[in-house]
Amino acid sequence: MADTTTDGPMLAADGTPLKQSLARALRRQKIRALMLTAPLLIFVLVSFIMPIGSMLMRSIQNTAGTEYVPDILPNVVAELEEWDPTTGELPSEAAFKAMIIDFQVAFENKQHTQLGRRFNYETPGMSSLFRKSGRKVSRMDVEEITDAKAALLDVDEDWGNLQYWATIKANSGYYTSSYYMAAFDAERTIEGVQMKDPDQRIYQKLMLRTLWLSGLITFCTLAIGYPVAWLLADLPLRTSNLLMILVLLPFWTSLLVRTSAWKILLQEQGVINDIWIALGFSDRLSLINNQLGVVIAMTHILLPFMILPLYSVMKTIPPSYLRAAKSLGATNTTAFLRVYFPQTTPGIGAGALLVFILAVGYFITPELVGGADGTFISNRIYFQFSTLGNWGLAAALGTIMLAVVLLLYYVYDKLVGIDNVKLG
């Protein structure tokens, strides 16, 4: 029982002010709630936020291996600070001498090949130059060199390439925009940043293809999944549960196995083409190593992600609504379009978001089924960091796709409203 007095604050049973006692109890509840959610917060931080943050940083960090480029070439960076490549003249003698000094240190630390690989991402040929020059430059005696420019040109005449020095100057900072320029199919030349030739703009083409095919796959899953979900919601519970097992069956099979199965079915000598020929047609269908094969396989794989949200929403719609509409004179089509369909839009929104976002990031299916014409941007991202070791460009491409998806999510929220999306 709380105690009250006429000339003081209300007190709790232990004699402390009631307001202070309530604040202490509320603080304890918040601490307990935080302790309960802490494992989930730590998991999200470690598995989601930190990797995304690392990806964002890699896309702008100007590193060669584990070290920043300015830390490997400190003297060169200082000498090139005032040099202007647009003049058409090579850097000063001091810059060439600084390159020899820094190059020898980099060779001793086994960083010269990593440095060449970093510059080669932007200007092809520099990796070979740094690799071939390593041992020869390391044997030079800097104190005895009277003409550093001639000494480097004697090692390899490519040290007189103006574009190579312009690339070094452009990447003299700790952070760089080179990866994002490459991701947008732009390149840095002596005259400035320019777009590549139309036939060399592969990343723009891949991004548009990824978004287009993801949207098409979303539409196909909706066109197939909507009547299936409607049937499941309309059937008796026992029958719908049995059919739902068939819908969930793909979840119990490895994605790689399902994709390989489609590869077998769609190939020129596959089951589908054999049936096609058996029906009397003379020409076999081209269903593999193209965009059509990707759409077919991914529509099947992602179909459950469309059916489940639709079914969960349709199950909550009373059948009496359609009967009432028909009793008031509405045709089957009118009753469906004006009564039933509007109530299923939350499920459509949830399914479309799930399928589209999953499709944008798919990798295995386009790789195995798509061929050269059906690959997604995710396949190119994988190629950059696994084969070329270009983590910066891979991170830039991933960041751009993340921004595009977030932008589409924002537009969807403004047009439809994310509050209208329901998973059940």
DSSP letters of 328-361?
Answer: TT--HHHHIIIIIHHHHHHHHHHHHHHHHHHHHT
How confident is the model over 230-240, as pLDDT tens digits? 999 988 888 88
Alpha-carbon gap, residue 114 to 300, rounded angstroms: 44
| 225 pLDDT above the threshold of 90 | yes
User: Residue 42 belongs to what H/E stretch?
Assistant: helix 18-44
Those residues whose C-beta lies under 8 Å from the C-beta of residue 352, and which sit 6 or more positions away, are: 218, 222, 306
Task: Give helix then strand counts, H and E, for the chain.
Answer: 21, 4
Short-list 273, 297, 298, 291, CA closest to 283: 273
Question: Phi/psi of residue 6, each to 5°?
Answer: -80, -20
How confident is the model over 76-111, as pLDDT tens digits? 999 999 999 988 899 999 999 999 999 999 999 999
pLDDT for the residue numbered 238: 86
Mean pLDDT of 196-220: 92
SS3 of 109, please? coil
| 2 pLDDT above the threshold of 50 | no
Q: Are 112 and 131 in contact (CB under 8 A)?
A: yes
Give Cα 246 to chain centroid, integer Å: 31
Share above pLDDT 90 across residues of the chain, in percent, rounded to a whole number? 42
Those residues whose C-beta lies under 8 Å from the C-beta of residue 322, and which sit 6 or more positions away, are: 335, 336, 339, 340
Of the two residues 20 and 126, the one the predictor is more confident about is: 126
Assigned token pair, 118? 């970093």
Those residues whose C-beta lies under 8 Å from the C-beta of residue 204, and which sit 6 or more positions away, are: 184, 185
Mean pLDDT of 204-212: 93
Question: Phi/psi of residue 63, each to 5°?
Answer: -120, 155
| 11 pLDDT above the threshold of 70 | no
Burial of residue 161, with CB atoms counted within 10 A of its CB: 0-12 exposed, 13-18 middle, 19 or more buried:
middle
pLDDT for the residue numbered 415: 72
Assigned token pair, 156? 């390899």
Short-list 144, 133, 78, CA closest to 103: 133
DSSP code of residue 316: T
pLDDT for the residue numbered 420: 61
Rg of the chain on CA atoms, in Å: 32
pLDDT for the residue numbered 405: 87
pLDDT for the residue numbered 189: 82
Assigned token pair, 158? 């490519």
| 297 pLDDT above the threshold of 90 | yes
Mean pLDDT of 194-215: 91
Mean pLDDT of 318-340: 88
Assigned token pair, 83? 């040099």
Tokens 């379009």 sit on residue: 337
| 158 pLDDT above the threshold of 70 | yes
Read off the pLDDT band of 291 (50, 70, 90).
very high
Dihedral sign, Cα of residue 416, residue 417, residue 418, residue 423: negative
pLDDT for the residue numbered 302: 93
| 5 pLDDT above the threshold of 70 | no
Short-list 96, 103, 167, CA closest to 135: 103
User: Residue 266 belongs to what H/E stretch?
Assistant: helix 255-266
What is the average pLDDT score of the chain? Answer: 88
Measuring CA to CA, how many Å separate 5 from each of 11, 23, 307, 377?
A: 8, 20, 65, 73
Mean pLDDT of 191-200: 85
pLDDT for the residue numbered 322: 85
Read off the pLDDT band of 120 (50, 70, 90).
very high
Assigned token pair, 285? 């269908």
Assigned token pair, 300? 């099947």
Of the two residues 248 and 359, the one the predictor is more confident about is: 359
Alpha-carbon gap, residue 135 to 31, rounded angstroms: 62
Of the two residues 304 and 412, the one the predictor is more confident about is: 304
* CB half-sphere exposure, 414, CA atoms < 13 A: 6
pLDDT for the residue numbered 323: 86
User: Residue 214 belongs to what H/E stretch?
Assistant: helix 202-234
| 1 pLDDT above the threshold of 50 | no
How confident is the model over 250-279, as pLDDT tens digits? 788 888 888 889 998 998 888 898 898 998
pLDDT for the residue numbered 90: 92
pLDDT for the residue numbered 421: 61
Read off the pLDDT band of 319 (50, 70, 90).
confident
Those residues whose C-beta lies under 8 Å from the C-beta of residue 143, and which sit 6 or more positions away, are: none
pLDDT for the residue numbered 208: 93
| 8 pLDDT above the threshold of 80 | no
Alpha-carbon gap, residue 122 to 117, rounded angstroms: 9
Alpha-carbon gap, residue 245 to 307, rounded angstroms: 12
pLDDT for the residue numbered 211: 93
Alpha-carbon gap, residue 272 to 291, rounded angstroms: 17
